[in-house]
Amino acid sequence: MNEEQAKKRVNELRDLLNKANKAYYQDAQPFISDKEFDEYLAELERLENQYDLATPDSPTQRVGGEPSSDFETVSHPVQLLSLDNTYNEDELNDFDRRVRELLGHENFTYMVELKFDGAAIRLRYENGDLVLGATRGDGERGDDITRNIRTIRDIPLHLENEYPGVAEIRGEAYIERDAFVRLNEHREQQGLNAFANPRNSTAGSLKMQDPREVARRPIRFFSFDLITDNEAPITQYEKMELLQEYGLRVCQHYKRCEEIAAVHAQIDEWKELRHDLPYETDGVVVKVNEDKYREELGSTSKAPRWAIAYKFEAEQATTVVKDIRLQVGRLGKITPVADFKAVELAGTTVKHASLHNEDEIHRKDIRPGDRVVVEKAGEIIPQVVSVINPDRDDRSVPFEMPTHCPACNEELVKLGEDVDWRCINPECPPQIRQRIEHFASRDALDIEGLGEAVVDQLVTEGLIKTYADLYELKKEQLLPLERMAEKSAQNLIDAINSSKEQPLHRVIYALGIRFVGKTVARDLANGFQTMDALMDADEETIAEIDSIGPKIAESVVKFFDQEHNRQMVKTLREHGLNFEMEEQEQTSQKLEGKKLVLTGSLPSFTRKEATELIEKHGGKRTSSVSGNTDYLLKGDSPGSKYDRALELGIAIIEEKDFLNIIGEKV
């Protein structure tokens, strides 16, 4: 590359990166993946250095983002910087070497913290009172979002203990994965657009104009930096302790490391463990621990020289949309799905993603043939983030929603304010199949051997039309089916028969009533005690049950109003399914309010059975060990959760202790 070409490329890259910054920070609508962004940025930096082309306004020199016009702008007395980052271990060693060379000794230590994937926030406390909450913006000026910040429960309005006169605190606002999924479900039920990922939902929530709305969003906050008018130089470690003393929430997963080898070990551990955390992390941050050495090392215009972010494999990728097809749900909801050229995304191969609904496709203007950014929202669900280069000329035509069901050709309808199209034909084959699959699923009647393939054959062969027909099946009818031998046929018949023993709440759940999930089904069973009482209840009575709103009540009544549903329920009764609450469903209070974490395999229970036992006695099973954990239930070959529990002094129990506590036998 000659100088001329380098200049051209530098301009191209700057233009692209500036656009990407705007899309990412202002519009929360990135059009390239983080990894690609970081690669382009690294390329730009290389060229600028090699050809001496750096300018102060280059994206390599500036913190991305800008204050918005919707809020008052505040200046930050001490800049909020970005972090240099790397995806690679050698570069981490380079960082370590640089620090040692610049300081000229090795008397420093490192702090390793998780890198939370949310929004950077600055807080200011004067005489212990919260006086300001602001976004990072361009690092020098951000948005004053104090009113919104005050609604976040992890952020105290007053500091505790012996706080300094002025305290500047930095941290990350974020939304937990579960809460994110619920938030999106809630939005979808209300017909609003789903957020692409927890980070976007946090950034979006913080910029809402009505603080009451913000208060309803499950925003959490971790503090990780403290600047005070107190001169004494301290360490990051001490800062974390002080923050907690002042009443701020600090993530407990921080670790002091004497040398870079220990940092690598931490990284290896978090690469795996982070998936068990309730929130998203995109890496770890490695910081020189001591303030006095930080001062010596200083910063560039963009990032401190005393810290680096080690980023984990990006959870985004790009691929090409091959086709957009319609999927018919169990309740007739039509979901457009994009089929991709297979792409690796955070450890799995992704071939398709839900596009949610017609509006969503038009908003993102996704068309077959487009190259798109995909990512995993909440590390679970693949999603199309956006189309790359939407202005190119050779695109296919915009997506047009078909008017008829792809499976049964019934005309699609929209109910009320619903954003989704539906097929309301009760005989629509995919709906029939899915209702039966749902009926037999693990959390419903748990009929082993009745998976997708078998149900498909049973329906195609005309052996069953509804789940109630299952109980009429004879072994002889099963034998001709594919991969069905004498033994498997008998097993299936036995499994269908023993499903009659399942408790009432599972039967209610199995019916497949809209909005009636596992928890609601349990509440309905507890509230009404019998199927008959539930069937005869009106909306008002149903809505009297705590936790059940008018929407669910309406849906239950509607279900039992329909003749074909009543008929099915009648058949189920004739076959002897449980229509009354059983004694043993009553829960004990022995684990009331207790949080248990499981590790390793238990001698007599599967994880699912153990979870059910815990819940039956009023406890809750959580996935990761924290200060709030009451018991760690330890089985054979326990994982790292065991070490963590030891470290935190959590009570560790084995299966026999557990059974003692709840007063049950194997």
Ligand X SMILES: NC(=O)c1ccc[n+]([C@@H]2O[C@H](COP(=O)([O-])OP(=O)(O)OC[C@H]3O[C@@H](n4cnc5c(N)ncnc54)[C@H](O)[C@@H]3O)[C@@H](O)[C@H]2O)c1
Known binder of ligand: residue 311?
Answer: yes
> Could you tell me where the DSSP H helices lie in 480-549?
486-498, 504-510, 518-528, 531-536, 539-543
Choice between 373 and 423, CB closer to Zn ion: 423
CB of 413 to Zn ion, least distance (A): 11
CB-nearer residue toward ligand X: 151 or 200:
200
CB under 5 to 8 A by kind: which of Zn ion, ligand X, none does 408 bind?
Zn ion
Question: In the complex, which residue's CB is closest to ligand X?
Answer: 120
Q: How far, in whole angstroms, is CA 548 from its chain's centroid? A: 25
Number of other CB atoms surrounding residue 546 within 10 Å: 8
Interface residues toward ligand X, by CB under 6 A: 20-21, 23-24, 30, 32-34, 37-38, 63-64, 82-83, 85, 113-116, 120, 136, 172, 224, 285, 309
**C-alpha 346: how far from its chain's center?**
14
Binding residue per annotation — 106?
no
Report in angstroms how near the CB of residue 140 gets to ligand X at its nearest: 13
Give the DSSP per-residue string, 577-635. ---B--GGGSPPSTTTT-EEEEESB-SS--HHHHHHHHHHTT-EE-SS--TT--EEEE-
DSSP 8-state assignment for residue 398: P
Q: Which is nearer to ligand X, 337 or 388 (CB)?
A: 388
CB of 431 to Zn ion, least distance (A): 7
386 is in an annotated binding site: no
DSSP reduced 3-state for 167:
strand
Residue 257 and residue 87 in contact, taking contact as beta carbons nearer than 8 Å: no
Q: How far is CA 39 from CA 21, 36, 42, 285, 448, in A?
A: 14, 5, 5, 19, 49
Q: Is 474 a catalytic residue?
A: no
What is the CB neighbour count within 10 angstroms for residue 477? Answer: 16
Catalytic residue among 115, 364, 376, 634: 115
Q: Decide whether 220 or 522 has the Cβ nearer to ligand X.
A: 220
Q: Is position 546 annotated in a ligand binding site?
A: no
Residue 224 interacts with, from ligand X, Zn ion, none (CB under 5-8 Å by kind): ligand X
CB of 273 to ligand X, least distance (A): 16
Are 203 and 119 in contact, with CB atoms under 8 Å apart? yes
Is 417 labelled a binding residue?
Answer: no
- The answer to whether the CB of 414 falls within 8 A of the CB of 422 is yes
Task: Determine if residue 408 is labeled as part of a ligand binding site.
Answer: yes
- Binding site partner of 24, from ligand X, Zn ion, none, Cβ cut-off 5-8 A by kind: ligand X
* Residue 512 CB contacts under 8 Å (≥ 6 apart), including other chains: 330, 331, 435, 438, 439
**What does the binding site for Zn ion look like in residue numbers (CB under 5 A)?**
405, 407-408, 410, 423, 425, 428
Q: Which residue lies nearer to Zn ion by CB, 100 or 325?
A: 325
Pick 196 or 508: Cβ nearer ligand X? 196
172's contact among ligand X, Zn ion, none, with CB below 5 to 8 A by partner kind, is ligand X
Q: How near is the Cβ of 326 to Zn ion at its closest, in Å?
A: 10
What are the b/e assignments for 614-625, b being 16+ CB within 10 Å?
bebbebebbeeb
Q: Is 140 helix (H, G, I), strand (E, B) or coil?
A: coil
- Listing DSSP states for 188-242 in one string gives HHTTPPPPSSHHHHHHHHHT-S-HHHHHHS-EEEEEEEEEES-----BHHHHHHH
Q: Name which of Zn ion, ligand X, none residue 407 binds, using a CB cut-off of 5 to 8 Å depending on partner kind.
A: Zn ion
Q: Which does residue 520 bind out of ligand X, Zn ion, none, counting CB within 5 to 8 angstroms by kind?
A: none
Confirm or deny that 461 is annotated as ligand binding. Answer: no
Q: Known binder of ligand: residue 257?
A: no
| C-alpha span between 179 and 168 (Å, rounded) | 29
> Which residues belong to the annotated binding site for NAD(+)?
34-38, 82-83, 113, 136, 172, 287, 311
Which active-site residues does the annotation give? 115
> Which residues belong to the annotated binding site?
34-38, 82-83, 113, 136, 172, 287, 311, 405, 408, 423, 428
> Which residues belong to the annotated binding site for Zn(2+)?
405, 408, 423, 428
